[in-house]
Structure 1
């Protein structure tokens, strides 16, 4: 049984689909009954679990041949760092008590860094905890998801300006489509556990992108003039809190982009296997534009 946490996300959903296409048994872990229908239709077994609840996580992994673990940053929480660390600790406790033959944990570019990297620092904590607790472990480090631009696409469509915390807007950085992460995860799970040391695999798109590239694609999709513009550093906090984020969440994001803009977060050469997703930026952004366009009028 392949147990997929985060099955309702872009990456987790694709992992479940690919494993089912291969005829493999999948247990999709969801939080609510209304999320189960699509996975039942795929032929998945359903488990209900809250990553902050040890009992439900332990029950979800019973009988697992392999477990894909995704610990998402809880965006609606007043203190997302505390909440995510709690989820990581719960996951480790459950997996250590009943270790499956293989655990694959979704991590982040830059997770190897022992420094203040904001959100990426939470994945550093995840890797530390998993590595000392689980002997048959694959860490799949993902570059920044292209889907993250969905948050500011409505602003770009309404104003013609794509706001960016990436500085400068012409600098290209590693990014990847979430579905490529899910597809690679499914392939690695089918390969089985590593022999010996923890296996670390990183994935990004074949082409690195810049905010200017994102604006160019949005312009092509809409026929409107759209330009990328840096949000001044001293305005970041106000912009993020106006968007509904807590002060602590905003700080995690600011620390992350400070580290990115300083060039600290990238592929860790010489340590990880480097894989590449094939989904183009335009293929990710086009449906996001179609969804956002009616709301940007």
Structure 2
């Protein structure tokens, strides 16, 4: 039995689907049963779990051959960092009790840094705490997800301006499609090669790095509308992020993250043992996102 936490998200759903296609039993762990219909339709067993309750997590991983762990950033919480650390500690307590045969944790580029990377420091904490669990551990670090651009698509389509915190606009940065992360995670869970050390650290990004200028250009080509990239001035970041609904502490985590990003600290770790590349292109992901909002050239005509 493969147990997938965060199975309703882009990554978890891709992992569950890949494992089911390969004929393996999957237990999809969700917090809300109303979101589980699509997972049940592909043959997943559904388990409800409260991530703040170690006993609930222990029940969800009972009988697991392997566990895929996604610790969500609690965006609606007043102090998302403190809440996420609490969720991590609760999960670690459950893993110590149940000791799954294998754990794969979804992490981020830059997680090797303990300080100065904003929200990514929480994934450093995640990795550090999971290293205390006896189970063999895989740390899958991914670059920035291409799907994150969905947050600013409405603005770009309406105003013809793509706001970006990446500075300068022509700076190339790593990115990856969420489905490629999920499918690689499934492959790693199925890999029974006995010679791997623990923790096994694996990184994934797309084959080509992109800039904010590239994103705007591709959006313009796909939508048939003029769209230009706009560098949001550093002093405007807090107001923009708070205007998007983020609380003060969450805003600061994102500000610190992009300061680190623009300084070149959020990248694949030097001398990392395994490096993988996703096949999905930015054009494919943006095309799919635009089709959902009716923003492609074909949809507009």
> TM-score when scaled to structure 2?
0.95
Q: Where has structure 1 moved over 3 Å in runs of 4 or more?
A: 192-196
Give the drift of 1:58: 1.1
Task: State the partner residue of 1:138.
Answer: 138
Q: Distance in 2 between matches of 1:264 and 1:171?
A: 13
Match of 2:26 in 1: 26
- 1:2 and 2:17 matched: no
C-alpha separation in 2, matches of 1:293 and 1:78 = 34
In the TM superposition, what is the alpha-carbon distance from 1:197 to its structure 2 partner?
2.7
Q: What's 2:168 paired with?
A: 168
Encode CA deviations 1:79-108: one digit per residue, 9 max, x unaligned.
111111111111100001110110000000
Query: What is the distance in 2 between the residues matched to 1:219 and 1:265?
Result: 27
**Stretch moving more, 81-90 or 284-293:** 284-293
Alpha-carbon distance between aligned partners in 2 of 1:286 and 1:39, rounded to the nearest angstrom: 24
Mapped contact 1:3–1:64 kept (Cα < 8 A): yes
Aligned position for 1:41:
41
Q: Which residue of 2 aligns with 1:257?
A: 258
Instruction: Kindly indicate whether residue 283 of structure 2 is the aligned counterpart of residue 282 of structure 1.
Output: yes
Q: TM-score when scaled to structure 1?
A: 0.96
Residues 154-192 of structure 1: CA deviation (Å, up to 9, x unaligned):
111111110000001111101000000000000000003
Output the CA distance in 1 between the equivalents of 2:109 and 2:233. 24
The answer (yes or no) to whether the contact 1:135–1:198 under 8 Å persists in 2 is: no
Is structure 2 residue 246 aligned with structure 1 residue 245? yes
Local SS of the residue matching 1:133: coil
Residues in 1 aligned to 2:192 and 2:127: alpha-carbon distance in whole angstroms: 19
Structure 2, unaligned stretches of length 5 or more?
none
Alignment CA distance shift 1:65-1:193 (3 Å): farther
**Partner SS state of residue 236, structure 1:** helix
1:269 is displaced (CA, Å) by 2.4
Measure how far apart 1:133 and its partner are. 2.1
Shift of 1:265: 1.1
| Structure 1: unaligned runs, 5 residues or longer | none
Partner of 2:273: 272
Alpha-carbon distance in structure 1 between the residues aligned to 2:6 and 2:172: 29
Partner of 2:126: 126
Contact 2:114 2:125 in 1 (8 A): no
- Worse-matched range after superposition: 70-79 or 206-215: 70-79
Decide which moves more: 95-104 or 127-136.
127-136
Aligned residue in 2 for 1:190: 190
- Let me know the Cα RMSD of the aligned residues: 1.3
Check whether the contact 2:105–2:139 (CA below 8 A) recurs between aligned residues: yes
8 Å CA contact 2:110–2:265 kept in 1: the answer is: yes
Which segment is superposed worse, 23-32 or 194-203?
194-203
CA contact (8 A) 1:201 1:274 kept: yes
Contact 1:68 1:106 in 2 (8 A): yes
- Give matches, 1:173-252, under 5 Å: 173-192=173-192, 195-252=196-253
What SS does structure 2 have at the residue aligned with 1:152? helix
Given that 1:73 and 1:84 are in contact with CA atoms closer than 8 Å, whether structure 2 keeps it comes out as yes
Partner of 1:107: 107
